Amino acid sequence: MSGAQPQVVRHQDADDLAGRGAARLLETLIALQADGRVAQVALTGGRIAMALYARLGELVAGSALDPARLELWWSDERFVPTDDPERNAGPTLALLARHFALVPSRTHPMPSADGVIDAAASAATYAKELGETRFDLCLLGMGPDGHVASVFPNHPSGDPTTQAVIGVSEAPKPPPERISLTIPTINESEEVWFLVSGAEKSNALVRSLGGDTSLPAARVAGRDRTLWLVDEDAASELPYFDCTL
């Protein structure tokens, strides 16, 4: 894990987090592309992430961002059929496509449950697709229980592993079958950004930042930077001196 201290940025509310977070994300992606590189980005699902993506889409037109040089991956996925609205990838791609075109060969949704292959086999397929890719930026949410991606506390998904991607069975929240990047894979990212909104996550937030490694979120750190973008409700148990504004 990175030796750098995590940074915490407070936002007034979820709308402020989505708006300012989108502006920060656009600026970061443009910087990553400055030397002609393709930016490798792992996306997350969830309410606040979708709000941020919507605001990002509004900012792209007229900016220096080149959508053709975005390589998009996912940190986890619900192992349900492709057209299930509970999937992370489908709604995200539909939202982004309203604002700019993505290159299909550089868009990597996790497998769906349309065939007979199970989540574990599908995870192995995604690991092969991922190969040696390391993310410039990995976006994550965090649950009230401190889970990240589909790695849950007190669950086999959080066991030590050398696998890059795992199938998750009997998840503590529905749907029970999922696919997830593992924490070692996430921790190879140059930067990890957490998007955390809501008072129900305040205790997990303070515990994670306090180093309670019983929570998966506390075991995550980017190689260069770990950034927590939080709203005031989520940050209600944090002292202000823990934050950088």
pLDDT tens digits, residue range 167-222? Answer: 999 999 999 999 999 999 999 999 999 999 999 999 999 999 999 999 999 999 99
pLDDT, tens digit, 9 for 90 and up, residues 28-54: 999 999 989 999 999 999 999 999 999
pLDDT at 242: 44
Quick one: pLDDT band at residue 5, thresholds 50, 70, 90? confident
CA distances from 73 to 98, 129, 131, 200 (A): 19, 10, 12, 28
The full set of domains in the chain, from first to last, is 24-197+226-239 (3.40.50.1360)
Q: pTM of the entire structure?
A: 0.94
CB 130 within 8 A of CB 164: yes
DSSP 83: T
Compute the mean pLDDT over every residue in the chain, rounded to the nearest whole number.
Answer: 94
Joined together, the tokens standing for residue 58 give 């509004």
Confidence of residue 239 (pLDDT cuts 50, 70, 90): confident
Q: Is the pLDDT of residue 80 over 70?
A: yes
